[in-house]
Amino acid sequence: MTTPHIRILATGGTIAGSAGSAITRGYRAGQVAIADMLAGAKTLGIAARLDGVDIAQIGSQDIGWAEWDILHSHIAEACADPDVDGVIVTHGTDTAEETAFLLDLTLAAGKPVVLVGAMRPADAVGSDGLRNFANAVRVASDPGAHGRGVMLVMGDSILAASDARKWATANVDAFKGYPRGPLGLVTPTTLDWFAPPARIRSPARFAWPECLPRVEIVYAAADVESDIVDALISLGAKGLVLAGMGQGNAPKPLLSALSRVVQAGVPVVRASRVDEGSVDRNVEVDDDSVGFVASRSYNPQKSRILLQLMLASGITDPARMQSEFDRR
Ligand code: ASP
């Protein structure tokens, strides 16, 4: 077997973070250039040819269209290169699920594309970065990783982009899969897939857009004001996502404001501020008569990405939108 060639696209995050001391609490994300990270990885004796490109050196809380656009074109280029076997994106954990989902919806499910991050900076005691990186190399090098879509490797788990959720602010085991658990488990020396790849040769669901339209998230809370909705529309929002209570509920004045927005032709997706569970149609809100879309298993931040891609593709019919949210 020839040595796999893996392209590493670095964006920053805690995996490239530095505190300057192993016992300092504060640190800065995105300090270590990819060349230095690869020099560290060399000491692990990883059985793959790694080459790296610095796309950005930022905390992922600052990622946005400019970085995503460059990242997408580098991944497309690497996937088209017969000499490259897989792609790893080093990324901050704060928005890894959003970047992973955006890429997953806009790339064909061919060669493995794996996001990886860390919860502890590179120079912290017990840093998880190199282990997660070694795990990601193992996944990206594996022929069984083809046809699975974009994945996230963290804490020895392999998660599908559509399922990955950050659920803890500081634990090294900060991600879980919802509604499906991990696709498999990985360590630097073992790899177990739980099922065969489900998306071999599946094309991209959406074309890469020229830009992403403005979609805002409205967070529901007890006795919250509803005039924020009109303010967001007048600021240019082309769609709204409700981070609702429970099954995507909200106080009556807020729901009425959102209904008026739908009547004016701006789509509204009802999602939940609760970490787990589905938001289904017509439970306590009459989606059929108002024209809301239910987010099903997608949380507000992922719903926002899906809605942005639909709007960029000219999809505005609520029934069609619902079918995209129903799809897994
Ligand atoms: N704020 C960091 C980031 O998302 C956190 C991390 O990487 O864990 O870049």
Domains of the chain in sequence order? 5-193 (3.40.50.1170), 215-326 (3.40.50.40)
Alpha-carbon distance of 113 to 104, in angstroms, equals: 9
Q: Is 14 in the pocket of ligand 1 (CB under 6 A)?
A: yes
- Among 47, 42, 66, smallest CA distance to 56 is for 66
Record the pTM: 0.97
Task: Give the rounded distance of the alpha carbon of 275 from its chain centre.
Answer: 15
Between CA 6 and CA 15, with CA 12 as vertex, the angle to 5 degrees is: 80
Check if the beta carbon of residue 80 is closer than 8 Å to that of residue 18.
Answer: no
The values of phi and psi at residue 247, to 5°, are -80, 40
Q: Which atom of ligand 1 is nearest to the CA of 30?
A: 9
- Helical (H) or strand (E) element with 101: helix 96-106
117 ligand 1 Cβ < 6 A: yes
Calculate the CA 184 to chain-centre distance. 18
Unique residue bearing structure tokens 């609760």: 274
Of 46-50, 191-195, 289-293, 296-300, the range with the lowest mean pLDDT is 46-50
Give the pLDDT confidence of 117-163 residue by residue, as tens digits: 999 999 999 999 999 999 999 999 999 999 999 999 999 999 999 99
Judge if the beta carbon of residue 13 lies within 6 A of ligand 1: yes
Atom 7 of ligand 1: nearest residue by CA position: 92
* d(CA 58, ligand 1 centre) in Å: 9
- For range 13-23, the mean pLDDT: 91
Q: What band does 47 get if pLDDT is binned at 50, 70 and 90? A: confident
Distance CA 327, CA 317 (A): 16
CA distances from 235 to 125, 206, 216, 219, 316 (A): 45, 26, 10, 17, 20
